[in-house]
Amino acid sequence: MTETMTPDAQAELQAEFDALIAADQRIEPRDWMPDAYRRTLIRQISQHAHSEIIGMQPEGNWITRAPSLKRKAILMAKVQDEAGHGLYLYAAAQTLGIARDVMTQQLIDGKARYSSIFNYPTPTWADMGAIGWLVDGAAICNQVPLCRASYGPYGRAMVRICKEESFHQRQGFEILLTLMQGSEAQREMAQDAVNRWYWPSLMMFGPPDDESPNSAQSMAWKIKRFSNDDLRQRFIGMLVPQAEALGVTLPDPELRWDEENERWITSEIDWTEFQEVLAGRGPMNAYRLQHRRDAHEDGAWVREAAAAYAEKRSPRERSETKRGAESDREAA
């Protein structure tokens, strides 16, 4: 479409787009947008959706073994929220012109990325606490600024997601707090889980600013509002008093506040580990992907049944359902 346009018309559309961004207005699905902006959003939103979906696995692993009925109910609700997050985000990506089955295929073919944090194992119950506290905590730091992302459907999806994420973080904190008030063995289990999840959670903000080439463009487009390092700093600042309240130690002997530069000083992050996991060589990459593939194949009959049902209904019935949905929306 863009190629057949005259240079003048193209420049005019670009100027309108730039003005909307400069005025902090939202770009909506029907608005013209540069191809690179669209591609960046499709990549980012679909990766984000895949992360929510794959992210159900490390915790789903513990639903049957959660220590009480109450813990099972909470964990089940949390994992179900993550499925919902995946669905809002796939829907947001679809408004950019990519079909959901295309995104699913990219994921199960191993061609799409998702957050590398979900390629770590969850050997103990304390991992449920550490994931909620650290992984959902990092997700909140990353995602709160995304509520103001320039692309309307993405920003609006993030508002609801963030509300649920803050519940997730608190339930994780509460699991750790309960363990820390328990026996010596329980305290050790909580500390061990924090030791294993702390560094990977810091990596969730992505590489350092000087090695993050796409960040500047995303910030200019107001998709991203803060740099990776700034978000990481904010996250550490949030963790320090919470770790103290829990009575756990953050596994970094160098960690301290630098009064003069108003920044947290930390040990070097092991970026080779990050690159390895990203390249598919983390402890659980192959397992997570295979599990997702199996779930997709096991669900084939549901998709076939839904398609057959839709086919069987008369056009009149179908339009009645549509009208019903419309009047529901008006009534709401």
Quick note: the x/- pattern for Fe ion over 29-68, rule CB under 5 A, is: -----------------------x----------------
How far apart are alpha carbons 289 and 284 in whole angstroms? 9
User: CB atoms < 10 A from the CB of 79, how many?
Assistant: 19
Stretch near Fe ion under the rule CB under 5 A, chosen from 165-173, 285-293, 297-305, 306-314: 165-173
Closest CA to 41 of 107, 100, 89: 89
How far, CA to CA in Å, does 193 sit from each of 197, 200, 313? 6, 12, 52
Helices 285-298, 300-312: crossing angle, 10 deg rounding: 30
- Closer residue to Fe ion, CB minimum distance, 17 or 114: 114
Site for Fe ion contains 168 (CB under 5 A): yes
Contact with Fe ion (CB under 5 A) among 66, 82, 141, 173:
82
How far apart are alpha carbons 72 and 59 in whole angstroms? 11
- Residue 35 CB, nearest distance to Fe ion (Å)? 29
How buried is residue 179: exposed, middle or buried, by Cβ count under 10 Å (0-12/13-18/19+)? buried
How buried is residue 126: exposed, middle or buried, by Cβ count under 10 Å (0-12/13-18/19+)? buried
- Closer residue to Fe ion, CB minimum distance, 50 or 168: 168
Interface of this chain with Fe ion, residues 198 to 217, rule: CB under 5 A: none
Residue length of the chain = 332
> Which amino acid is present at 132?
G
- Residue 237 CB, nearest distance to Fe ion (Å)? 20
User: How many amino acids of this chain bind Fe ion (CB under 5 A)?
Assistant: 6
Stretch near Fe ion under the rule CB under 5 A, chosen from 120-128, 168-176, 221-229, 231-239: 168-176
Interface of this chain with Fe ion, residues 271 to 330, rule: CB under 5 A: none
User: CB atoms < 10 A from the CB of 202, how many?
Assistant: 20
- Residue 172 CB, nearest distance to Fe ion (Å)? 9
Residues in contact with Fe ion by the rule CB under 5 A: 52, 82, 85, 136, 165, 168
